[in-house]
């Protein structure tokens, strides 16, 4: 009897790989091609972070000093020049969640000063680091070429430039979000204690930068439960430990009425404006959304980025139905995920198509990029307002800040104190000139007496106002209307400045 021919069956892929990559795309960076040295792959991985870092760094520096400080940046300036004791006292106020960033900026100012560029430098460095990490993360998830594309897309977004040039914690928050996601991959692929400890440390940084950004953990948790269910408890323990410091800040702020920002319940107009606020240009949001649709197989890497991009906004929208916490800037930490998803789609296209899409993103965002570097690029032309006062100031001029405006007049006081030298400032007739802007100024109780002898009066208001005196507050508004005439009004972007004159001879 003749033996039958032996048939060799091919080895089937493991069940884990089939779940992670049902379309056979392969997880992580592809293996080196036969004959290609490992050094070549190492060079490509270096390019994946170096190109985005150089591009983001250049875009961050160019024109960074042109826009004037806006409301929140002026608060950062006030914190940076205040005493350490005043900054620590924030931990026992409604602004406790902002205390870590302000303490950081206080230490930074000790070494580098409080000029506009000095205050924005930490954000520039953080955003450059975030762009580099986006490239590294995408290269690890997909391939080095995808890392380059992801980092470049992230750097080209006008929003990235905007918050790289703003003295606020949003750039640090994005850096922490990318770092936490990168360390999550390492932790769940090799579940050793120190890997989860590093991940917990990144979560600590994320929560201290922005408490709301901890919604990223909802996306992380979904991905871990879906693809690494056996490590869910370890992840949960690390995430809980990392979130404890932020929870402590909320606990400290709660008795004083915790204030995350000037947020609100979401309305339809606010939701419609969210893409523009998030991506800088609404059309760029549409482009990235379309690209993301082409990178949404059930693959592990794409699913993790999808959870990062989609789950936190949905969670914030649900929370905002019961608490006024909606602010598009809170979702900036999802931008890296959108950039990676877009790059994953482009990496499947031919080189010419990928280059064309990158060029289109740059062209669409160019007008916004140029507008960001104008004097009113941060939506408030504070330096222009100060220049008007300085050039027209006369001896014995007074100034009034509205207690009815957000911040109880602190924004106007900070603006004048920051941009005008001490000998070129009008006298604060209703409050002490020497306040540091961190606490509401002690206001004059005898308004008529405080105004006596002041012939020319400057009025600084937030927003563009037809009537600069309307709503300025009770007795002050009545006296200004009866004793003064509005001589001239200026409306630099986001602000209103008026010069009032009293021609009565008995003054």
404-435, pLDDT tens digit by residue? Answer: 887 767 889 999 999 999 889 999 988 764 44
Residue 87 has pLDDT above 80, yes or no: yes
pLDDT at 456 over 70: yes
Confidence label for 196 from pLDDT (cuts 50, 70 and 90): very high
Closest CA to 468 of 485, 493, 448: 485
The pLDDT tens digits for 89-120 are 888 777 788 899 999 999 999 999 999 999 99
pLDDT value at 67 more than 90: yes
How would you class 500 by CB atoms within 10 Å of its CB: exposed for 0-12, middle for 13-18, buried for 19 or more?
Answer: buried
Pick the residue with more confidence: 123 or 264?
123
Cα 133 to Cα 477: distance, rounded to the nearest angstrom = 53
Closest residue by Cα to residue 169 from 233, 113, 123, 219: 123
Which residues touch 101 (CB under 8 Å, ≥6 apart)?
76, 168, 169, 172, 208, 209
pLDDT higher than threshold 70 for residue 479 = yes
What confidence score (pLDDT) does residue 29 get? 41
pLDDT > 60? residue 440: no
Q: Which helix (H) or strand (E) element contains residue 401?
A: strand 398-401
Q: What is the pLDDT of residue 111?
A: 94
Say if residue 499's pLDDT is above 70. Answer: yes
Tokens representing 152 are 């470049």
Model confidence at 66: pLDDT above 80: yes
pLDDT (average), residues 283-298: 65
**What kind and span of H or E run contains 456?**
strand 456-462
Per-residue confidence band for 505, with pLDDT thresholds at 50, 70 and 90:
very low
Buried b (16+ CB within 10 A) or exposed e, 101-132: bbbbbbebbeeeebebebbbbbbbbbbbbbbb
Average pLDDT over residues 465-482: 86
| β-strand pairing of 427-428 with 398-401 | parallel
CB 353 within 8 A of CB 268: no
Q: Which residues of 174-197 are buried (b: 16+ CB within 10 A; e: fewer)?
A: bbbbbbbbbbbbbbbeeeeeebbe
- Predicted pLDDT of residue 228: 86
pLDDT at 15 over 70: no
Burial 26-56 (b: 16+ CB within 10 A, else e): ebebeeeeeeeeeeebeebbebbbebbbebb
pLDDT over 90 percentage in the chain = 51
* Of 495, 500, 499, 498, nearest in space to 415 by CA: 495
- pLDDT above 50 for 25: no
Q: Which of 8-12, 41-45, 56-60 has the highest mean pLDDT?
A: 56-60
What is the structure's pLDDT at 275? 72
Identify how many contiguous H helices and E strands the chain contains and give both numbers. Answer: 21, 5
Q: What is the mean pLDDT of the chain?
A: 83
The CA distance from 477 to 203, in Å, is 48
Average pLDDT over residues 112-136: 96
* Distance, C-alpha 297 to centroid of its chain: 30
Whole-number Å distance between alpha carbons of 447 and 225: 63
**pLDDT greater than 50 at residue 34:** no
Look up tokens 């060029």; give the residue.
359
Tally of CA atoms within 13 A in the half-sphere of 12 that contains its CB: 4
Q: What is residue 41's predicted lDDT score, i.e. its pLDDT?
A: 63
Cβ-contact 146, 358 below 8 angstroms? no
How many of the other CB atoms lie within 10 Å of CB of 18? 11
Q: ∠ at Cα 54 (49, 55), nearest 5°?
A: 105
Query: Please, are residues 291 and 302 in contact by the beta-carbon 8 Å criterion?
Result: no
3-state secondary structure of 184: helix
Cβ proximity of 140 and 62 under 8 Å: no
- CA angle, 231 as apex, 229 and 233 as ends, to 5°? 100
Residue 347's pLDDT band, with cuts at 50, 70 and 90, is: confident
pLDDT-wise least confident of 137-141, 160-164, 232-236, 313-317: 313-317
The three-class DSSP label of residue 501 is strand
CA distance 171 to 221: 23
Percent of the chain with pLDDT over 70: 82
């Amino acid at each position: 009897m003749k033996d039958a021919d032996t048939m060799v069956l091919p080895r089937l892929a493991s069940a884990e790989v089939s779940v992670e990559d049902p379309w056979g795309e392969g997880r992580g960076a592809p293996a080196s091609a036969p004959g290609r040295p490992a050094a070549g792959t190492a060079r490509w991985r270096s390019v994946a972070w170096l190109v985005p870092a150089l591009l983001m760094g250049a875009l961050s520096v160019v024109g960074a000093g042109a826009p004037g400080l806006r409301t929140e940046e002026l608060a950062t300036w006030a914190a940076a020049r205040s005493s350490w004791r005043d900054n620590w006292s924030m931990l026992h106020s409604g602004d406790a969640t902002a205390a870590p960033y302000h303490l950081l900026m206080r230490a930074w100012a000790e070494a580098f000063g409080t000029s506009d560029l000095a205050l924005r430098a930490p954000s520039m460095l953080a955003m450059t680091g975030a762009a580099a990490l986006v490239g590294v993360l995408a290269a690890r998830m997909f391939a080095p070429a995808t890392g380059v594309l992801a980092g470049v897309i992230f750097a080209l977004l006008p929003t990235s430039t905007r918050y790289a040039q703003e003295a606020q914690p949003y750039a640090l928050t994005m850096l922490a979000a990318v770092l936490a996601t990168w360390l999550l991959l390492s932790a769940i692929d090799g579940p050793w204690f120190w890997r989860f400890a590093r991940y917990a440390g990144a979560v600590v940084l994320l929560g201290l930068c922005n408490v709301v950004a901890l919604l990223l953990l909802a996306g992380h948790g979904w991905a871990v439960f879906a693809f690494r269910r056996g490590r869910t408890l370890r992840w949960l323990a690390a995430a809980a430990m990392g979130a404890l410091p932020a929870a402590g800040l909320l606990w400290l702020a709660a008795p004083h009425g915790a204030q995350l920002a000037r947020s609100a319940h979401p309305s339809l107009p606010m939701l419609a404006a969210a893409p523009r606020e998030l991506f800088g240009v609404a059309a760029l949001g549409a482009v990235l959304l379309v690209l993301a649709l082409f990178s949404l197989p059930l693959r592990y890497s794409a699913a993790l980025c999808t959870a990062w991009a989609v789950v936190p906004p949905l969670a914030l929208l649900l929370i905002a139905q019961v608490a006024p916490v909606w602010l598009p800037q809170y979702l900036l930490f999802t931008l890296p995920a959108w950039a990676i998803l877009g790059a994953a789609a482009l990496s499947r296209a031919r080189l010419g198509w990928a280059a064309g899409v990158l060029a289109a993103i740059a062209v669409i965002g160019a007008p916004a990029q140029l507008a960001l570097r104008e004097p009113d690029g941060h939506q408030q032309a504070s330096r222009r307002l100060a220049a008007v006062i300085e050039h027209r100031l006369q001896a014995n001029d007074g100034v009034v800040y509205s207690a009815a405006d957000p911040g109880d007049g602190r924004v106007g006081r900070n603006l004048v104190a920051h941009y005008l030298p001490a000998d070129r400032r009008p006298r604060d007739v209703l409050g002490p000139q020497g306040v540091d802007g961190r606490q509401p100024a002690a206001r004059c109780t005898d308004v008529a007496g405080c105004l006596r002898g002041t012939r020319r009066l400057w009025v600084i208001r937030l927003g563009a106002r037809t009537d600069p005196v309307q709503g300025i507050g009770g007795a002050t508004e009545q006296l200004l209307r009866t004793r003064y005439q509005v001589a001239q009004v200026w409306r630099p972007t986001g602000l209103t400045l008026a010069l009032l004159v009293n021609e009565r001879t008995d003054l």
